[in-house]
Amino acid sequence: MDTHTPKFKIRLGLFVAGGLALFVLAIFIIGKQKNLFNPVFNLTTTFYNVSGLQVGNNIRFSGINVGTVDNISIINDSTVRVDMLVRQEVKQFIKSDCIIAIGSEGLIGDRLLIITQGSTDSPLAKNNQQLKSVEPVETDAIMISLKITAENAEIITQQLAEIMLKINSGEGTLGRLIQDTTIARNLDQTIINLKKSSKGLNENMEAAKHNFLLKGYFNKKEREAEKKKKDAEEKAEDKK
């Protein structure tokens, strides 16, 4: 094979140029993920369980990607340390009382770190400062809780269906009350009787007011009521 032909040299040159372009592109992508081209500062935190967090995952502050996870190391059987690289430009917003939480991009997306906003009067976080964290809620625990809730809802729905079936069949006190027309008529008659009794009581009270022996008592009560009303009006006028 002749390696000195112009076509071979052109192909070799294109191959080398393509390889260099891919290499530069890979360096650019990796550098962007690792914030190699931006000034950064370091923060650390610890978790009991990082819940699938990996090196290179994003760090978000106020919903914006501001850095990446630089390193994850096990300190002991109950502590995992996470080192973070955060862009220098957002350092002015990271306070020393900010809290680090583990979230995810969507329901089944990659894990990421979330930096919550701190208080306005708190000092700024320093380089290599360790921030407080909150433990993540495992997906398995959420699914178990949802399963229990669904099972309870199913039991309650079944019980309500049984109750409504009994009511529609006329079983129980409420069912008889709804289905039995005799009970309904008795209730209507009871209400009518109560109205008549109330009307008779009012008539008796009016008759008692005009009785010679009780008239003085009712007049006294009326004077006391008028006096209280007058005193209340005078107090209201004084407040004005």
SS3 per-residue string spanning 171-211: CHHHHHHHHCHHHHHHHHHHHHHHHHHHHHHHHHHHHHHCC
Domain coordinates in residue numbering, the chain:
33-136, 141-173, 180-226
CA-CA distance, 56 to 83, in Å (whole number)? 11
Given a contact cutoff of 8 angstroms between Cβ atoms, the answer to whether 142 and 151 are in contact is: no
Q: Residue 149: its pLDDT value, please? A: 83
The per-residue pLDDT for range 81-122, each reduced to its tens digit, is 999 999 888 888 999 999 999 888 766 678 899 999 988 888
From the list 97, 99, 103, the residue with the least C-alpha distance to 58 is 103
Task: Name the band, by pLDDT with cuts 50, 70 and 90, for residue 20.
Answer: confident
Q: Give the pLDDT band (50/70/90) at residue 73.
A: very high
Phi, psi at 112, each rounded to 5°: -150, 165
